[in-house]
């Protein structure tokens, strides 16, 4: 073995196969991990002294939304800095045609190259995209997106059928920019599943890494409950929004999605940002009912840290909603029991001027979504650690599992041959979340004032520092990840 370019020493390596951190060194050459173990030869290598801190694999944040409320080129440049601040070295972003994002309809053959061009050369971390087939035309493009652009993951927004993005009903044709006469409904969802399954058959060598993700809420339930909550007028704020999109709406959507997966023989299904005890119950019931479907279950750091009473402000409006404390505790029970596959940020920077409507305190006129990538790993180590969650499991849920599902073969773990995406975390630092200290362009955070007991200090992308002592450094060097990645 040739001499390493760089040696990380005096660190406690967090590995998914070990509950507790290991006293190992990590050697890196040309951006790739070349050796892992105790007392590695340092001859000729640059030595990075971790000062006893934890060394995590770079976070694979499999759920972000660059470009939803701000120009994609701007979000790529700015929100990728927030990623680096939080130890995220790979950001997978959901993208679709229609209002928001590029505000265009049409084919992905025309649309996606514009997405790639807007992001190119501007990101501080590596990135990729999940795409949502919104129209009939898109169904025929799924397999070619896999082959031509390395997009291996797709999405359905189940509530778009007859419910607006922010809580009120909206015109499908205006909002989704789909051709006249087409509907974004259960039939379309079935045909999306068949298109994704066809892509798996067309690319058998990638079949296990081609998957479909679903935002599971039921439009008709939410529309009825939104009207009821607003007419009654007894609830306000985040409590009102949670009640307007009730927990059983998630459970029903999970059930429908699961049967459609069974019907279409699509075995690779990801259930996104499950927020409640009922949603998790439905997800586990469906996994038992349809064992041939390889379900993966996702939760967000927002739904693990905040509830309707502790969130700092109405900036916590998000879809599905922040829930009452009993749902937060239920999610943590499932995390500790191993029922959650990965944890994400669902980062969607929405600046103050766009986020809040008139009147500002009306939750139903606020936009949905907020940033949080900068708090993902610190939040998991802080809150998860206090609940007895092993550090190795945090590495599994924030890096390994999403990397393997989404075809990121060179990411996800501190192992020989993988990219040297590494994060130093100080587990002894107590600090208070302040939006003013975030690299994000968002001027507020629902986590304002939250106390953390661990902090990301340094982030390395393919062996090179992008965050040093909490400060973003250097120029953007993140690249688009055509999947599957590998060397």
> Tens digit of pLDDT for each residue in 450-484?
999 999 999 999 999 999 999 999 999 999 999 99
Among candidate residues 142, 110, 34, 135, the one with its CA nearest the CA of residue 414: 34
Yes or no: say if 140 and 194 are a contact pair by the CB < 8 Å rule.
no
Q: Residue 69: in which H helix or E strand, if any? A: none
Residues 6+ apart with CB under 8 A from 231: none
Yes or no: say if 92 and 122 are a contact pair by the CB < 8 Å rule.
no
Q: What is the mean pLDDT of residues 414-441?
A: 98
Opening angle at CA 106, ends 101 and 110, nearest 5: 85
The number of C-alpha atoms within 13 Å of 224 and in the hemisphere containing its C-beta is 8
Above 50 in pLDDT, residue 52? yes
Rounded to whole angstroms, how far apart are CA atoms 476 and 15? 28
Q: Region of 169 please: left (phi>0), alpha (psi -120 to 50) or beta.
A: beta
Above 60 in pLDDT, residue 396? yes
Question: For 67-81, 137-151, 354-368, which range has the lowest pLDDT when averaged over its residues?
Answer: 354-368
Yes or no: say if 90 and 376 are a contact pair by the CB < 8 Å rule.
no
- Predicted local confidence at residue 166, as pLDDT: 56
Query: Could you tell me the pLDDT band of residue 1, with boundaries at 50, 70 and 90?
Result: very low
Query: Over the chain, what is the mean pLDDT?
Result: 96
209-257 pLDDT, tens per residue?
999 999 999 999 999 999 999 999 999 999 999 999 999 999 999 999 9
Cα pseudo-dihedral 29, 35, 41, 42, rounded to 10: 40
Q: Which domains does the chain have, with CATH numbers?
A: 58-408+434-450 (3.20.20.140)
Neighbours of 181 (CB within 10 A): 7
- Predicted local confidence at residue 180, as pLDDT: 87
Rounded to whole angstroms, how far apart are CA atoms 384 and 377? 10
Among candidate residues 168, 191, 107, the one with its CA nearest the CA of residue 141: 107
98-141 pLDDT, tens per residue?
999 999 999 999 999 999 999 999 999 999 999 999 999 999 99
144-195 pLDDT, tens per residue?
999 999 999 999 999 886 665 555 545 666 788 899 889 999 999 999 999 9
């Amino acid at each position: 073995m040739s001499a390493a370019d760089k040696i990380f020493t005096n660190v406690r390596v967090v590995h998914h196969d070990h509950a507790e951190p290991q006293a190992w060194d990590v050697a890196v050459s040309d951006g790739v991990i070349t050796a892992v173990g105790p007392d590695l030869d340092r001859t000729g290598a640059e030595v990075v002294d971790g000062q006893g801190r934890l060394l995590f694999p770079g976070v694979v944040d499999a759920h972000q939304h660059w470009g939803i409320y701000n120009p994609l080129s701007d979000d790529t440049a700015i929100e990728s800095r927030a990623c680096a601040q939080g130890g995220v070295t790979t950001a997978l972003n959901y993208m679709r045609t229609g209002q928001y994002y590029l505000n265009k309809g049409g084919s992905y053959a025309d649309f996606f190259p514009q997405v790639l061009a807007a992001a190119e050369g501007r990101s501080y971390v590596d990135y990729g995209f999940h795409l949502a087939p919104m129209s009939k035309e898109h169904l025929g493009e799924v397999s070619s997106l896999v082959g031509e652009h390395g997009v291996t993951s797709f999405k359905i927004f189940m509530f778009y059928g007859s419910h607006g993005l922010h809580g009120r009903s909206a015109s499908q044709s205006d909002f989704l920019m789909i051709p006249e006469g087409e509907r974004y409904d259960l039939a379309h969802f079935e045909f999306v599943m068949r298109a994704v399954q066809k892509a798996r058959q067309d690319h058998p060598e990638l079949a296990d890494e081609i998957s479909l993700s679903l935002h599971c809420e039921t439009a008709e339930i939410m529309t009825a409950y939104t009207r009821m909550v607003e007419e009654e007028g007894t609830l306000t704020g985040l409590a009102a929004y949670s009640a307007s999109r009730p927990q059983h709406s998630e459970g029903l959507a999970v059930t429908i999605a699961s049967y459609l997966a069974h019907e279409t023989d699509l075995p690779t299904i990801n259930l996104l940002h499950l927020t409640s005890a009922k949603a998790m119950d439905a997800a586990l019931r469906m996994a038992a009912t349809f064992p041939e479907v390889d379900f993966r279950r996702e939760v967000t750091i927002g739904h693990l840290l905040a509830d309707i009473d502790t969130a700092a402000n109405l900036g916590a409006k998000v879809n599905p909603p922040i829930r009452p404390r009993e749902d937060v505790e239920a999610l943590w029970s499932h995390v500790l029991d191993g029922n959650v596959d990965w944890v994400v940020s669902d980062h969607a920077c929405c600046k103050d001027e766009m986020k809040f409507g008139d009147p500002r305190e009306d939750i139903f006129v606020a936009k949905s979504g907020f940033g949080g990538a900068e708090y993902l790993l610190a939040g998991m180590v802080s809150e998860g650690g206090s609940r007895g969650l092993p550090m190795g499991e945090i590495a599994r849920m924030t890096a390994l599992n999403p990397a393997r599902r989404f075809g990121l073969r060179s990411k996800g773990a501190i192992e020989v041959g993988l990219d040297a995406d590494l994060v130093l975390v100080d587990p002894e630092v107590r600090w208070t979340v302040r939006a003013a200290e975030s690299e994000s362009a968002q001027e507020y955070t629902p986590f304002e004032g939250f106390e953390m007991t661990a902090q990301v200090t340094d982030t390395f992308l393919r062996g090179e520092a992008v965050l040093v002592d909490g400060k973003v450094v250097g120029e953007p060097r993140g690249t688009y990840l055509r999947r599957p990645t590998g060397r």
